[in-house]
Amino acid sequence: MLKKLTALLLALAAAASLAACQGGQEPNGTNGNTHEASSQKGSSIETDSEAESASASGGAYYSFQDASGEQITLREKPQRVAVLFSSFADVWETAGGRVDITVGESVERGFAPEDVLLVDDGAGKTINQELLLSYEPDFVICSADLEEQVKTAEFLRKQGVPAAVFHVEEFQEYLDMLKICTDITGDQEAYETYGTQVREEVEAVLASVPETGEAEQKRILFIRAGSKYSATKAKTAENNFVCVMLKELGTYNIAENAPVLLDGLSQEEILMENPDYIFISTMGKEEAARAYMDSVLQEEAWQHLDAVKEGRYAYLPKELFQFKPNKRWGEAYRYLADLLYPKES
């Protein structure tokens, strides 16, 4: 009787041990070899060799979270990529990728060849979704800032096409996107050159800026100018990447205290705040926008501003301050620092 009981207990112990071992195994595609990343700051991203290993074993090639919080999973390394925003076509190309499908502005800016497949002739504000789907992309990059592209990403996901939306309004977000893109392409050297080295440039510029107290901050007005009053507004760090940079460079944006300027250039508010510097970024047709702003600056009220009287206003280069500077972030920071601190920087 004792022998039978001992044998029964041993059998039960062996069964429990076997079940525990099986329970510790993860399902294929979610194991430790799966190449995962997050677009959130401070994320850890595994190496590309691990991604290839995962693909070979039947798992996902790469997985990451986009700006909308969606988990994007690429089963294989993308071979036919659509990029619907020109600044992101620049990032994808910088990361060692090829733009197969895009919008007209990407071609105009030199980030895609003339014979590339187009789904919009302009900047990507009206995407032909059915045409895009017919081109059979296996990965699509969209902008979170354009409602049409957010809708397009949702449409594509329902069709089983991986579509990610990105949001880049500050340097760290550019680094996050570049890291994801270089992980996908496998070009880690590109991240070192256009990510790590550019970060060092940015840090060097910020370190050169003199520390100032709140009372000593340079007061600035940043204007995003179109060709008429209704298209010309002040911006703040909440809605413009240039204002984020200016804030990091130790300035105070007068629009922070005068939100009416976000709807139009109120002379009364601007005269009352009297900024030390005025920075202007043009959108649309540059010549028309500059002509309009030139006429504004010639108005008698504006002539009383210290920034205008003393020539402390500047039209900023479009490639650095209207479009995202991407691999030229360091150059963009230096440009602004030289305007603000000509002797100190």
All domains of the chain in start order, with CATH: 60-198 (3.40.50.1980), 211-338 (3.40.50.1980)
Stated length of the chain = 345
Identity of the amino acid at 114: E
pLDDT of amino acid 236: 94
User: What is the C-alpha end-to-end distance of the chain, expressed in Å?
Assistant: 91
pLDDT of amino acid 267: 87
Distance CA 63, CA 152 (A): 20
Could you please report the per-residue DSSP string of 163-215? EEEE--SSHHHHHHHHHHHHHHHT-HHHHIIIIIHHHHHHHHHHHHSPP--GG
Whole-prediction pTM = 0.81
Is the Cβ–Cβ distance between 50 and 192 less than 8 Å? Answer: no
| 3-state SS assignment for residue 248 | helix
Q: How far is CA 156 from the centre of its chain?
A: 21
Within the chain, which residues score under 50 in pLDDT? 1-35, 38-57, 344-345
Distance CA 147, CA 221 (A): 28
CA-CA-CA-CA dihedral for 142, 110, 130, 169, to nearest 10: 20
**Tokens 């139009």 label which residue?**
264
285: closest CA among 234, 325, 228, 227?
A: 227
Is the Cβ–Cβ distance between 189 and 326 less than 8 Å? Answer: no
Q: Are strands 233-234 and 218-225 parallel, antiparallel or unpaired?
A: antiparallel
